[in-house]
Structure 1
Amino acid sequence: MLIRPATDDDDDAIAGILMPIIAAGETYALPRDMTRAEALAYWRSPSHHVHVAEGPEGIVGTCYIRANQSGGGHHVANAAFAVRQGSKGVGRQLCAHALDIARQLGFSAMQFNFVVSTNTRAIALWQSFGFAIVGTLPGAFRHPAQGLVDAYVMFRAL
């Protein structure tokens, strides 16, 4: 699998991955009725270093890396990931790649600000990479099927 910086030519594939995830409303605190243009503007923000994972069947995942905060928090990276449903191992490869890119960009840590507690596969994956849950936001996410659920802040040094 090739993981590379995204280009404008990747927008259709990125949108094809993002839109079902956003519409499901189970993992991202984004409006479920977000338009394609809004989703791409969010994901492809100029402050984001966007990458795609490309296999024989095309683009199967994407991630972005950015500074978590400005000013005094600019040394901590933040990242987000989206993988085509049914893809195996793509999230793991994207996470390893994002950690490498974050180091190359000079970040000294990475933080996930809002990991929905029901996203147990992602939580287990992040923990396998050394992320720890450092905070719980009780009832901070309105899950479409489960109601109010916790969100976690996860952190690791680079």
Structure 2
Amino acid sequence: MQRRQIIQTAVGVASAAFFTPMVMAKPKPQVEVWKDAGCGCCKDWIKHLEAEGFQVKAHDGGNAEARTRLRMPEKMGSCHTALVGGYAIEGHVPAKEIHRLLKERPKAIGLAVPGMPIGSPGMDGSIYEARKDAYDVLLVLEDGKTRSYQSYPSKPSIKS
């Protein structure tokens, strides 16, 4: 009787394994980016996003039009504009903050890092000698007002 139970158990486990659906990997969040074709820092920011689990579709051009269409205030402008999960992303926003935004889902237009602060993702190449300027990632609210979403401190450059 014991042998029969072992065989039935083995058949049951094998059947369950065969008929259990495969666990699908969670899809990567899709980011659509509008940028200047020759902009190196935009390309570096895209590489940063891809390394942090995003799938990126880039368009060479249309940055200003995308910013207007996505309701991002002009004063937040930078060298690239993106759309992810219904949110506008303007400038060199770290992937960490985009992941946080998608998790928290606040009522907002999106995130912005105005200008091009040295040390932000895409503006952190060796040419800057590890220098990092202080900057804030801003949460852009529905009415266009902003509040600090995350602050990044400065770090002096390393001179050889």
Q: Could you state the TM-score of these two structures normalised by the residue count of structure 1?
A: 0.31
**Higher Cα Rg: structure 1 or 2?**
2
Scaled by the length of structure 2, what TM-score is found? 0.31
